[in-house]
Structure 1
Amino acid sequence: MKKVVYTYKALGDSMALLREVSGIPVKELCEGCGISNRTYYQVIFGETLA
């Protein structure tokens, strides 16, 4: 379970960086990578701010 969480967190962190650098909306980044916006936000905010 932890491995999955960390994998999603790493993916989310990369997407957050891409969004910051490129200005691409999260929805566009999420469309082709198999992770939902809800999961993305849960992982980023839950793991980063917890």
Structure 2
Amino acid sequence: MEPARYVAVQPPMAHEGVGRALRAAYIAKGDDLPNEMARLLQRLDKL
């Protein structure tokens, strides 16, 4: 079992959704956002 990895995420700006902030964190780190997480974040952004 791999040790847990933690990634610091900046709080979103007032005009950003949580999904956009998390996507930006994954892109900055060079990882792809898992498809399931991307779908859930799209749903959150619409709320």
What range is the shorter-chain TM-score in? 0.3 to 0.5
More helix by share: 1
The structure that has the greater radius of gyration is: 2
Superposition TM-score, scaled by structure 1 size: 0.32
- Which has the higher relative contact order, 1 or 2, with Cα contacts under 8 A spaced 6 or more apart? 1
